[in-house]
Structure 1
Amino acid sequence: MPIFHFIIYIIYIIIHIAKVHNPSIITYMFKSMFTSQFSGQAGASEGKNIFTKAAEWCLAASAFLLPLWFWPNTLSPVEFNKALMLSVLVFAAFLCYLAQAITFGKIKMPFHWSFLLLFGSILVWLASALTSKFGGALWGLGSEPTSFLSILVFSLYFLMIGMVFNNTSSLFKIFSGIFLGMMILIVGSLLSAIGWLAWAGALFSDKTFNTIGSWNSLSLAAGFFILMLYPFVSNFSKGFLRWVLAVAFVLSLILMAIVNFQLAWIIMGFFALVILSYSIWRRNVSAAAIGIPMLILLFALFGFFFNDYIATNLTVAAPAEVSVNYKATLDVAKEALKASPLLGSGPGTFGYLWDQYKPAAVNNTVFWGIRFTSGASYLLSMPGEVGFIAWGLFLVFIALIWHKGIRSSALQSETLSSAFAISAFLAASYMLVVWSFYPVGYALAAFGFLSFGLVLAVAHACGGIRTAEISLFSEGPKGLVSAMAVVVLIIGSFGGLYVVSSKYIGQSVFQNGLDAFNSQGKADIAEQQMLLASRSDSRNDIYFRNLSQLYMIKARLLLQDNSTPKELLGSQFKDMLDKAVVASKSSISANPLDFGNYRALGKIYEFLVPLNAAGAVDAAISQYDEAIKRSPKNPLIYNDKALVYMSDATARRDFTGLKKAEEALLKAIDLKCFSLDCCITKIIVWKMPELF
C-alpha cells in the first residue's frame, strides 16, 4: 500500500542519515528555525560516538513513529504493532547505550531518588507476574499496557530519553520527532474523517480508523499535542515555524471537535483555565499568553455545553465506547486485594477479575456478556492486578517526576530552555490526568512515559539533576560486578528482542491461519499456521483455544462424510477429538484464569454426550463447574449445564436428570432476567417428557 511504502521510505532515510553521521534534514530545519527565533540559545552538541548517535536516532524515530505506526497483518494492526515497534527501538537504543559505555569504559547517567521507587515497582511487578496464573502476565498476549514487558519497556524508554538527550541541542531531535509525527497524525486523521484516505487500504474505509487506538483516544492525543505546542506558539516571534505550529495547533482543536469526546473537553478546559490563571498571576498579559489559553477554553466550553449539537451536525458517526464506572472498578480492585493484597492477581488480569467480581446488576444491561479488560482508568486498573505495593511505589514515582517538572520549569531563564521545560511539564501533567480518568491503550500509556522522559531530559540538560558515573574497568570486585552487570543487561536486551519477535511471529501466522480458514476454507493450512503460532508463543491461550475449535469443526465434518469407510472414519474422528482435547487442555494450562478455556473443553465433552460416550456427562459438567468458579455471574454457563443434562436425557431416554437441568436454568434466569436462550431451554425441559 502506498502509505506503508511512504513510512518505510521515511524510516530508511532516517537510518541512512544516522549512518553517515549527518544532521537530520528535519531536525536541521527545526533547529535552524528554533535558533533564529531564540537568538542562538541552542547549545552545541558534545562529541558523541556512533553508538550514542545511534541511540539518539532510535529514540527520536520511536517518538516520530509512536503516533503513526501500524501494520495490518495481525489481529491488532495498531496497538500490537506499536508495542513491537517501541520495544524493538527501545531495546536497540539500550544496546547502543551499553556499547557506548563499554567503549568509554564507564556509564554516565542522571540519578534521582525516584529511580529507586521505579526500580522497586518493577521488581514487585515482576514478582506479581511470576506468581500469577495468567500466562500473559509476564510478556503479555498482545499490547496490554500493564503487562510486565510493557512496564519494563516503558520504564526503559523513560530512562533512555533522560540519559541520551542531555543538552539543548539533542533535545531538538526528540521534540522534532514528536512534533512531526503528531502533525502527520493530525492531518492524516482529518483527511481520513472526511473520507480522503479511502485509497490507502481497507482499514481507512472506516472514517474513524486512526493510528492511536479508539476514536476517543484520538481526541486525547490531539490534546496532548496542543499542550506540547503551547509554549512554542506563545513564545515565538513572527516567522515561518510559528505559522506551521499555529496551523497544527488549530487543526488539533478542529480534530478534537470532530471526535467530540466530553472527557477530552473537560481536561483541556481545566488546563486552559490553569494556564490562563497562571499568566494573569505572573502579570504576563501579552496577546499570546492570554489569547491562546482563552481560545482553548472557549473551544472546550463550546464542546462541553454543545456536545449534542456538534454530534448531530458532524458527518462522522462516532462509535460507542463503553467502559467500567469508577465505583465498579474500585469494588473489583477491593475484592482482588482481599484475595492477594501484596501482589494482586497478576499484570493484565483485570478482565478476569471482572468476570469474577463484576456487579450482578450488569447482567440486566446490554453489556452483560462483555469482558472489560480495563477499569475506569489506567491507574485505577493497576492495584487489583499488581497489588498495592507496586501501585503505591509507582504513584510516588510519578509524583516525584511531576515535582521535578515543576522545578525545571520554574528554574529556566532562557526562553528556549523554558519552552522545552514547560512543554514537557504540561505534557506530563496532561497524561497524568488522562491516566487518572481514562482506560488508555498502549499508545497513550507510551505517551505518558515519553512525557516523563522529556521532563527528565530537560532536568538533565539544564543541570537540575545530578549525574552518577560508574567505571566498568576499575580494579577490584566493584569493576568486576559492573562489567558483569553490563553483560547481563546486554543478554537481557537481546532476550527482550527475541520475546517481542516471537510474539510478532505468533500474531502474524495466527492471522494467516484465520484468513486461510475464514476466507479460503482451507482448514489444513489454518491448522498448520495455528500450530506455528502456538509454538511461537506458547503462553497465549487464544491460539490453543482456536486450534481446539478448528479440530472440532473438522471432527463434525467427518461425521457428515458418507464417502469414507467407517473404520477409517472412526479412526480419523477419534484423532480429531483427541487433538481437540489436547489443544483445549493446553489453553487451560496457559491461562487457567479464563473461564472460556474451561467452557471450550466442556463443549467438546458435551458434543460426545449424544453419542453415549462413557463419562462425557461428568466430564462436561466438571469443566462447566470450573468455568463457574471463574465467572460465577455468567448465565450462559448454567445454560450450558442444562443442555448437557437435556442431551443426556434424550440419548438415554431417562428424564430423571431433567430436575438438575431445571435447577441450572433457574439459576441462569435468576442471574439474568428475561434471558431468551434460558427461557426457551426451560420450556423445552418442561415439554421434553411429553415429546418422547
Structure 2
Amino acid sequence: MMTDRFAYSSKIVLYIIAAVMPLLAVPAPLGTDIGRDVAFVALTAIAGVLWLIGVLARGEMRYPVSPLLWAGAVLIAVWSASAAFSHAPFVSAFFAEAGAERLITLVAGLALMAATGGILKNRGAEADATAAHASAGTLLFVLIFSGAAAGLLTLYTFVVGPIGFLPTQPFFNVIGTVNGMTLLYAVLLMMTVGLLLSRAVEGWKTWVRAACAAAALIFLADIAFVHFWTAWILVLVASVCLFGLLLIDVSKHRPGDVSGDNVRRFGWRQWTALGLVIFSIAMIMAPGAIIGKLEAPAEISPSASATFSIAGNVFREGPLRVFLGSGPAMFGLDWAKYKDPAINQTAFWGVRFNQGQSWVATALPTGGILGLISLIGFFAVSLFVFLRILLSSSSAGDGTMQNRTGDPLVMSSFLGWVTLLIAAFLYPANTSLLLLLFFLAGLLAALLAVPAHAVPEMTEDARESEVSGDRLALAGRPSIWSIRERMVRFETPGMIFASSLVIIFCIALGIAALYGQVGRVRAALAADRGATAFNAGKIDDAIGLLERAVQYEPRNWRNVQMLTQARIGKVRSVIQRAAAGENVQQDFQSAVSLAIQDAQHLTAMHPQDPTLWRIQGSLYESIIPFIPGSERIAAGAYQRAIEREPLNPAAYVEWGRAGLVFADRLASAAQQAQGKEREDLEKARVQNLEQIVAIFQRAIQAKQDYAPAHFLLAQTAIRLGNLDAAIQSVENTKLIAPFDIGVAFQLGLLYYQKNDLARAQAEFERAISMNEQYANARYFLGLIYDRKKDRTRALEEFGRIAATNPDNQEIQRIIANVKAGKPALEGIVPPAVPPQQRTDVPVKEQEQRR
C-alpha cells in the first residue's frame, strides 16, 4: 500500500540520521559546521513530511503521549519569546555564529524527538509493537556501528596521521571540536556497554556480541587518546547509574516469597559496571594521557563564575532581560560588552567566546530565568518520567516482578541519554550532541510507551477512588507521568477537515525548511567562491558572487558582511588607481555609494555587533581624505562599537587612527591656506591630535601592552612636534611602572624615531624579556640589529616572528634580504612607508571568536 511506503520511507530517513550523526564528513566549501546543520535540519524535515503524508493518507495517527511533549512545548515557547525580544531576532533564530545555540537548532531537536516517537509507533505496515521494537533496535545498532566506523577513522588519524581524502583535518572529527568528539564517543561507549551488560545479550548471536565489544573498545581507545577530563566524568556518572540499574535488575522478587534465596548476587555484569566506575575514577585522577600525547588544538571556554557574572550584568539591563535574557546565541555579544577587564591582560584578550561554561550555564544570560527554568524543567521531567517507568515493576507471566531494565534497547538508550544530560551541565552546546539527546529521548518514548490496546477503560469507581499515580499504573491504567501510545482516527467530516488543515500546514512548514536549506547551501557555495576570488585580488568577481549569496539568503548578515568588506576593498582599489594618476571619479562615486548602502544595511540587520560598526567605521575612514564629514561618521561608528565592546583596545586604536587620517588632511589643507585660515586649520589639527592622544590612552588603559596603541601614540607625538617631551613623559612613566611592557615598547619606539638606536635596543630587549611573544618589539629589534650589521641576531629575531606569523609576506622578504646580505628593508621601503611612520603596526595582533 502507498501508506505503507510513506511509513517505511520515513523510517529509512531515521536510519540515515542515525548513520550520519557520528560519520557525516562534509567536504569543502560547505565545511563541517554548515554541512552538518543543513543535513540534520533537512533530514528531520524530510522524515517529518513523509510521516505526516502517511498519516494524512491513512486517516489515523499513533504517537507516544508523555509529559516530555508538554515540557518541550514550554521550552520552545519560552525560547521563542526570548528570540523575539532579542537584540537581533533573526540572528538569534537562524544566523548566529554559535549554531548549537540558535532557536532553529532547538526546534529541530524537539521536532526530531517527536518525529522519532511518531514514526516508530507508526502502524502503517506493522501489526504489533514487536516490529516497532525491532525498528528501534535497528536505529541503535546503526548509530553505534556508524560511530565505531568514525572511531576507527579517528584512531587512524591519531596514530598514523591525516587521511588525504577526508575533509576534516588533522583528525577525523565531524563534531566540531576534539573534546566534543570525545564526549560523543563517551555517549556511544555507555550505550554499547548498556547493550552488552543487559540480560538479553545472552540470546544474541556471538558475532553481534563480538562486534558490540569491539565497538566499545574503539570508543574507549578514542577517549583514552584525548584524555578529556569531562569525558571521564560522564563515563563515571553513567557507570554509576548503570551499576545501580543492574543491582535493581538482579533483584527478582516473587510475591509471598520470604525465603533467603532471594538475596542479591553479584554477577559478571555488576562486576564489569563496578570495574568501569573504578577505571573512570583512575582516569580522572591520572595526571596525563596514558596512550601517547595528542597534539590537538586547545579548547578554552569561560568558567562557570565568569558565565554567571555575564548573566548578572545582562540582568541589570532591565526586567525583560531578567526573565528572557539577551536572546538565543547572544552570549558572544554579552561577553564582548561585560567581560572581566582582567581578561585583557591574558592571551585571550581578543577572543570573543560565543558560549559560556556549558549549555545550561549559557542558558541563564541568553534565556534569562525563564529560559533556564524551562531547559532544566525539560531535563527534570524527562528524567523523572524515564526513571519512574524503568524502576516500576510489573508482574511477569511466571509470577516474578520485572522492570524495564532488562530490555537492552531501553538500557542502552537511557544510558546514552543520561550521559548527554550530564554533558549539558559540563560542556557548551554542540549541534550533534544536542540533536542526539533529543533523538534518544524520542527513541526512549517509543520504547517505553504503553500500547493503546493495553490501556483499559477507567470505570466510574476507579475515577472516584483516591488511588495514587504509581498504584494506578500498576493497576493497568497509566498515570499522567506515564508514556502512553495514543491513536487518533480522523473519521467524522469535521475531524477530517481540521486534521487535513493542520497536517498540510505542518507539511508546508517542513517543505519551507527544506527550501531554506537549499538556499543556504547555494549561498554558502557562492560566498565561498566570492571569498576565494577576493583573496585572489579579483574584487569585481568577488562582489558579483557575494551579491548572489545575499540574494539566496538575504537575511544572513554574514553574507552582507562579506559583501560590505569586498566593497570596501573596491573603494580602496579605486583610491589606489587615483593615486597612480587615473581619472576614477565616476567609479569612486559608484563604489562609495554601494559600499555605504551595504554598510548601513549591515548594521541595521545586527545593530548590537560591534564588529559590524567597526567595518562601517573603516569604510568612512578610507574616504576621509576625499569626502568632507566622513571623519564624523567614522568616529560615530567607532564610538558605537566601543559602546558595545568597551574593553576592546582595537576599537579605540581604529578610532584614533581615523583621527590621524583627518589630522593629516587638516595639515595638508593648512599648507595650502594662508593667514587666519591657516592658523585656524593648524589649531584644529592640534586639538584633534590632543583628542587622539586621549583615545590611544584609553586603549592602553584597556590593555597595557597593546602594541598598536603605543605605536600610534608615538606617531601622534611626532605629528605634534614634541618628540623630546613625549620621551620625557614616557621615561617618567617608566619610573612609576618599571615592569609595564607597553611602556617599554613605546619608549623604544620613540628612541627609534629619534634614531637613538642604543636606547631603543635596550627598551625593546626589556619588552621581550617580559613577553617573548612580543612580535612588534622583535621586529624593531631586528631592524636595529640589521642596521648595526649584526645579521645573525637580526635573522634570529625575524625568524622568531615568522614562526608565529607565517603569512606575513613582509617578514619573509626581510629574511630573504638579510640572508642575501642586503639591508632588511631593501625593496620594501620605498615604495612602502618606513615602519615607524605607518598608521599600523608591522605585525598585526589577531582577534578571534570561539
Per the alignment, residue 198 of structure 1 pairs with: 163
Secondary structure of residue in 1 paired with 2:61:
strand
Per the alignment, residue 494 of structure 1 pairs with: 511
Q: Decide whether aligned partners of structure 1 residues 216 and 182 sit closer, same or farther in structure 2, where only a CA change above 3 A counts.
A: same
Higher mean C-alpha displacement, 371-380 vs 652-661: 652-661
Match of 1:457 among 401, 421, 446: 446
Q: Decide whether aligned partners of structure 1 residues 579 and 587 sit closer, same or farther in structure 2, where only a CA change above 3 A counts.
A: same
Match of 2:311 among 333, 336, 345: 333
Secondary structure of residue in 2 paired with 1:348:
coil
Output aligned runs, 1:125-204, within 5 Å: 125-134=79-88, 135-141=90-96, 144-166=99-121, 167-195=132-160, 197-201=162-166, 203-204=168-169
Distance (whole Å) between structure 2 residues aligned to residue 200 and residue 461 of structure 1: 48
Output aligned runs, 1:612-627, within 5 Å: 612-627=626-641
Distance (whole Å) between structure 2 residues aligned to residue 495 and residue 333 of structure 1: 35
Q: Is the 8 A contact 1:406 1:425 kept in 2?
A: no
- 2:685 counterpart of 1:667: no
Match of 2:575 among 542, 559, 568: 559
Distance (whole Å) between structure 2 residues aligned to residue 592 and residue 656 of structure 1: 31
Give me the identity figure in percent: 21
Per the alignment, residue 173 of structure 2 pairs with: 210
Distance (whole Å) between structure 1 residues aligned to residue 298 and residue 569 of structure 2: 34
TM-score normalised by L of structure 2: 0.71
Per the alignment, residue 286 of structure 2 pairs with: 306
Deviation at 1:331, TM superposition (A): 1.4
How large is the Cα RMSD of the aligned pairs?
2.4
Distance (whole Å) between structure 2 residues aligned to residue 78 and residue 307 of structure 1: 32
Q: Is the 8 A contact 2:304 2:357 kept in 1?
A: yes
The one-letter code of the counterpart of 2:270 is: A
Match of 2:242 among 275, 281, 306: 275
Deviation at 1:324, TM superposition (A): 0.7
Per the alignment, residue 656 of structure 1 pairs with: 687
Higher mean C-alpha displacement, 409-418 vs 259-268: 409-418
Q: Is the 8 A contact 1:183 1:248 kept in 2?
A: yes
Per the alignment, residue 376 of structure 1 pairs with: 357
Per the alignment, residue 228 of structure 1 pairs with: 191
The one-letter code of the counterpart of 1:329 is: T
Output aligned runs, 1:580-659, within 5 Å: 580-609=595-624, 611-653=625-667, 654-659=685-690
Higher mean C-alpha displacement, 353-362 vs 113-122: 113-122
- 2:720 counterpart of 1:689: yes
Output aligned runs, 1:230-309, within 5 Å: 230-235=193-198, 236-237=201-202, 239-276=206-243, 279=246, 283-294=264-275, 296-308=276-288
Distance (whole Å) between structure 2 residues aligned to residue 280 and residue 163 of structure 1: 32
Q: Is the 8 A contact 2:308 2:361 kept in 1?
A: yes
Per the alignment, residue 320 of structure 1 pairs with: 298
The C-alpha deviation readout for 1:614-634, integer Å capped at 9, x for no partner, is 101110111011111211221
The one-letter code of the counterpart of 2:389 is: S
The C-alpha deviation readout for 1:573-623, integer Å capped at 9, x for no partner, is 2222222222212211221121011100001111122x1521011101110
Per the alignment, residue 65 of structure 1 pairs with: 20
Q: Is the 8 A contact 2:238 2:418 kept in 1?
A: no
Q: Is the 8 A contact 1:404 1:455 kept in 2?
A: no
The C-alpha deviation readout for 1:551-593, integer Å capped at 9, x for no partner, is 22222222333798744x1211222222222221221122112
- 2:559 counterpart of 1:543: yes
Deviation at 1:182, TM superposition (A): 1.0
TM-score normalised by L of structure 1: 0.87
Per the alignment, residue 457 of structure 2 pairs with: none
Distance (whole Å) between structure 2 residues aligned to residue 592 and residue 624 of structure 1: 13
Deviation at 1:213, TM superposition (A): 1.5
Q: Is the 8 A contact 1:424 1:455 kept in 2?
A: yes
The one-letter code of the counterpart of 2:22 is: P
The one-letter code of the counterpart of 2:157 is: S
Match of 1:402 among 354, 368, 383: 383
Secondary structure of residue in 2 paired with 1:200:
coil
- 2:387 counterpart of 1:432: no
Q: Is the 8 A contact 2:405 2:411 kept in 1?
A: no
Deviation at 1:278, TM superposition (A): 5.4
- Extract unaligned runs of 5+ from structure 2: 122-131, 251-263, 394-401, 455-481, 668-684, 724-850
The C-alpha deviation readout for 1:76-111, integer Å capped at 9, x for no partner, is x22321211111111111111111111121222221
Per the alignment, residue 36 of structure 1 pairs with: none
Deviation at 1:644, TM superposition (A): 2.0
Deviation at 1:274, TM superposition (A): 4.1
Distance (whole Å) between structure 2 residues aligned to residue 682 and residue 633 of structure 1: 18
Per the alignment, residue 570 of structure 1 pairs with: 585
Distance (whole Å) between structure 2 residues aligned to residue 472 and residue 530 of structure 1: 49
The one-letter code of the counterpart of 2:557 is: D
Query: Higher Cα Rg: structure 1 or 2?
Result: 2
Distance (whole Å) between structure 1 residues aligned to residue 35 and residue 283 of structure 2: 32
The one-letter code of the counterpart of 2:26 is: W
- Structure with larger RCO (C-alpha < 8 A, sep 6+): 1
Higher mean C-alpha displacement, 675-684 vs 597-606: 675-684
Deviation at 1:475, TM superposition (A): 3.3
Q: Is the 8 A contact 1:343 1:389 kept in 2?
A: yes
Q: Decide whether aligned partners of structure 1 residues 603 and 564 sit closer, same or farther in structure 2, where only a CA change above 3 A counts.
A: closer
Output aligned runs, 1:386-401, within 5 Å: 386-401=367-382
Distance (whole Å) between structure 2 residues aligned to residue 104 and residue 201 of structure 1: 44
Distance (whole Å) between structure 2 residues aligned to residue 48 and residue 172 of structure 1: 23
Q: Is the 8 A contact 1:545 1:597 kept in 2?
A: yes
Output aligned runs, 1:86-105, within 5 Å: 86-105=40-59
Deviation at 1:127, TM superposition (A): 2.7
Deviation at 1:176, TM superposition (A): 2.1
Per the alignment, residue 469 of structure 1 pairs with: 487
The C-alpha deviation readout for 1:380-400, integer Å capped at 9, x for no partner, is 212322332243223212211
Deviation at 1:113, TM superposition (A): 2.7
Distance (whole Å) between structure 2 residues aligned to residue 143 and residue 498 of structure 1: 22
Q: Decide whether aligned partners of structure 1 residues 498 and 130 sit closer, same or farther in structure 2, where only a CA change above 3 A counts.
A: farther
Distance (whole Å) between structure 2 residues aligned to residue 530 and residue 307 of structure 1: 49
Q: Is the 8 A contact 1:139 1:499 kept in 2?
A: no
Higher mean C-alpha displacement, 354-363 vs 129-138: 129-138
The one-letter code of the counterpart of 2:382 is: I
Q: Decide whether aligned partners of structure 1 residues 499 and 369 sit closer, same or farther in structure 2, where only a CA change above 3 A counts.
A: same
Per the alignment, residue 8 of structure 1 pairs with: none
Q: Is the 8 A contact 2:68 2:382 kept in 1?
A: yes
Per the alignment, residue 31 of structure 1 pairs with: none
Higher mean C-alpha displacement, 444-453 vs 154-163: 444-453
Deviation at 1:415, TM superposition (A): 8.1
Secondary structure of residue in 2 paired with 1:173:
helix
Alignment coverage as a number of residue pairs: 637
Secondary structure of residue in 2 paired with 1:139:
helix
Q: Is the 8 A contact 1:405 1:421 kept in 2?
A: no
Per the alignment, residue 10 of structure 1 pairs with: none
Per the alignment, residue 779 of structure 2 pairs with: none
Distance (whole Å) between structure 1 residues aligned to residue 492 and residue 214 of structure 2: 54
Distance (whole Å) between structure 2 residues aligned to residue 293 and residue 199 of structure 1: 41
Match of 2:409 among 416, 420, 434: 420
Higher mean C-alpha displacement, 106-115 vs 95-104: 106-115
Q: Is the 8 A contact 1:80 1:142 kept in 2?
A: no
Q: Is the 8 A contact 1:646 1:661 kept in 2?
A: yes
- Extract unaligned runs of 5+ from structure 1: 1-20, 22-46
Deviation at 1:366, TM superposition (A): 0.8
Match of 1:112 among 57, 66, 90: 66
The C-alpha deviation readout for 1:228-281, integer Å capped at 9, x for no partner, is 011221232371111111111111111101111111122212333443455457
Deviation at 1:414, TM superposition (A): 7.9
Secondary structure of residue in 2 paired with 1:73:
coil
Higher mean C-alpha displacement, 273-282 vs 673-682: 273-282
